[in-house]
Amino acid sequence: MKEVFPDTARVSDDGHLVIGGCDTVEIADRFGTPVMVLDRATLEARAKAFASVLEPARVHYAGKALCCVAVLEIVRDLGLSLDVCTGGELATALAASFPTERITFHGNNKSDAELRMALDAAVGRIVVDSFDEIDRLDRMDATADLMVRVTPGVEAHTHEYVQTGQEDSKFGFTLAEGVALEAVRRARDAGNCTLHGIHAHIGSQIFELSAFDLAIERVADFLASARDELGFEARDLNLGGGFGIAHTRDEMTPDPAESVSRLVSIVEREFSARGLPVPDVYIEPGRATVGASAVTLYRVGTIKEIPNVRTYVSVDGGMSDNIRPALYEARYEARLANRMAAASGPLVTVAGKHCESGDILIRDVHLPDDIAVGDLLVIPATGAYTYSMANNYNRIPRPPIVMVADGRATEIVRRETYDDLLRLDRRLDGSELP
Ligand SMILES: Cc1ncc(COP(=O)(O)O)c(C=O)c1O
C-alpha cells in the first residue's frame, strides 16, 4: 500500500481494505458511516520514531491534533509528554490520568480559570505567551515552571517558509525591539516561578526543514543577548511541532527520526558557536504523530453527473467531520474501500452533505468509472485536525472513532446521537427538554 495509508493497511482477497487486521467493510457495517478508523500500530510507530532520538518525555504529543482519552492513554503509556492549550484539553488529559508533570500548557489567551486549573494540576510547564499572563501569574503568586514563547520571525507552512522581519502573530513575544528579552526578565521574576527556557513553534505541515535552521539561529542569537544582558541561561529549548506528512501520493513524509536528529545537531552547532550551554531539546509533533494513522470511511449516497462540467460524488459526511479542505484547501486522495482493486477512472469531485457549496472534500480525484451509490469511500491520512476540529454544522452528529489493532475494532469515541445534540438546548422559557 502507498504510504498515505496506515502501516498495517492491506487488501483482502475480496478486494476490501483491511487495517489493523480489521476489514473496513465490516467496520462500516458495524459502526455505520462516516467513521474514523485509527490504526494503533501506526500511531505507536510514529510516536516511537520521534522518541528514538529524544528521550520520550521530551517528545510532547500536541493534543490539538486529536484529543480523546484513549489516544492520550496510548501516548501516556509510551512515556511521551503532552502539549495542551485549553482547559478542555487539560481536562481530557486528567481524565486519561496523564502524569501532570509531563504536561505543557500553552495558549495565547489562557483564562484565570485555566491558569488556576493548570497550577492546581501542577503541570510540568506553562508556556507564557503575553505580558498579561505573566502579570496574572505574578498576582496569583503562582509556583510554576515556565517557558517563554517567542516568535523568531520565521513562518513555515507546507513547502514554503518566509522570513518575516517584523513578526505578525497572535502567539508569543517578538524577538524584535527587546520585547522577548523583557518577557524573559518578567517571567523569571514572576511569583514563585522558575523560568526554564524558550519555546518557538514556527508553523505546520513543514517539509522544508531549513526553516527550523533559521529559527534556531535566531533563538540562539536571542539567548546570547539574554545571557549577556540578563544573565539568563536556558536549560530547555522547545521547538514546537509542524513536521509535515503526506496526504496524497505525490507528497513524501520526511522521516521523523532524521528530522529530529537534524534539529538536535543544528541546536548543538548554533549554541556552541555562541559559547552557550547546549539546551535540552523538546518537540511537539501533533500531525506527524497521529495524522497517518487514521482513515475516514464514507458511504456514497448520490452521484450527479453534469455533462461536460463535472461529476459530484456525494458522501454522508463532509465539512463537519473534516473541515480542512474548506478551511485550508487541504488536499486528500480517496479510494473505494470495498473495491480496492477497481481500476481508477475519470476525475470526479467528492462532496459532503452540508448545505454549503464549499463543502467539498476533494476537488479532483480519480475514482473507478463504475462508482456507484452504496460504495464505501475511504480518505486516508485523516487522523490530525479532523475530529479535533469537528463540528455540528447542519446538526450533523459527529462520527465515532474506532481503533483497530490485531484484528480487533474498539470504539474509542462513540457516534453522537440526536439526543446528544439536543442535550444542551432549552425551551423558550428556559426549561429543559423532556
Ligand atoms: C505550540 C504548538 N505546538 C505544536 C503544534 C503541533 O503542530 P503539528 O501538529 O503541525 O505538529 C502546534 C500547532 O499549531 C502549536 O501551535
pLDDT tens-digit profile of 187-240?
A: 999 989 999 999 999 999 999 888 999 999 999 999 999 999 999 999 999 999
Q: Which of 123-137, 168-182, 301-315 has the lowest mean pLDDT?
A: 168-182
Clarify whether residues 28 and 64 are in a common domain.
no
Q: Please give the residue range of the domain that contains residue 372.
A: 10-38+291-422
Residues sharing a CB contact under 8 Å with residue 67, sequence separation 6 or more, in sequence order: 84, 88, 89, 92, 388
The total of structural domains in the chain comes to 2
For the cut 70, the answer to whether the pLDDT of residue 2 exceeds it is no
In tens, the pLDDT along 3-18 reads 799 999 999 999 999 9
Clarify whether residues 139 and 115 are in a common domain.
yes
Residue 339: its pLDDT value, please? Answer: 98
DSSP for 298-362, written as a single string: EEEEEEEEETTTEEEEEES--TTT--HHHHH------EETT-TTSPP-SEEEEE-SSS-TT-EEE
In this prediction, residues 171-182 reach a mean pLDDT of 93
Distance 306 CA to ligand 1 centre (A): 41
For the cut 90, the answer to whether the pLDDT of residue 1 exceeds it is no
Distance 84 CA to ligand 1 centre (A): 10
In tens, the pLDDT along 268-316 reads 999 999 999 999 999 999 999 999 999 999 999 999 999 999 999 999 9
Alpha carbon nearest to ligand 1 atom 5, residue: 241
pLDDT grade, residue 165 (50/70/90)?
low
In this prediction, residues 355-363 reach a mean pLDDT of 97
In this prediction, residues 58-68 reach a mean pLDDT of 98
Decide if 92 contacts 144 (C-beta within 8 A): no
Ligand 1 site, residue 206, Cβ cutoff 6 A: no
Ligand 1 site, residue 240, Cβ cutoff 6 A: yes
Ligand 1 site, residue 89, Cβ cutoff 6 A: no
Cα–Cα dist 229/377, whole Å? 59
pLDDT grade, residue 167 (50/70/90)?
confident
Ligand 1 site, residue 106, Cβ cutoff 6 A: yes
Ligand 1 site, residue 288, Cβ cutoff 6 A: yes
Is residue 135, in this structure, part of any structural domain at all? yes
Clarify whether residues 30 and 47 are in a common domain.
no
In this prediction, residues 25-39 reach a mean pLDDT of 98
Whichever domain contains 102, its CATH number is 3.20.20.10
For the cut 60, the answer to whether the pLDDT of residue 378 exceeds it is yes
pTM for the structure as a whole: 0.96
Please report which residue ranges of 112-239 form alpha helices under DSSP H.
Answer: 112-121, 131-139, 179-189, 210-230
Instruction: Point out the catalytic residue in the list 67, 68, 193, 355.
Output: 355
In tens, the pLDDT along 76-116 reads 999 999 999 999 999 999 999 999 999 999 999 999 999 99
Question: Does residue 193 carry a catalytic annotation?
Answer: no
Clarify whether residues 53 and 201 are in a common domain.
yes
Clarify whether residues 128 and 183 are in a common domain.
yes
Whichever domain contains 15, its CATH number is 2.40.37.10
Q: Which of 243-257, 286-300, 360-374, 399-413 has the lowest mean pLDDT?
A: 243-257
Q: Which atom of ligand 1 is nearest to the CA of 85?
A: 1
Best of 66, 71, 81, 83 to mutate for ligand 1, by most ligand atoms within 8 A of CB?
Answer: 83
Residue 158: its pLDDT value, please? Answer: 78
Clarify whether residues 51 and 134 are in a common domain.
yes
Clarify whether residues 176 and 276 are in a common domain.
yes
Best of 104, 158, 201 to mutate for ligand 1, by most ligand atoms within 8 A of CB?
Answer: 201
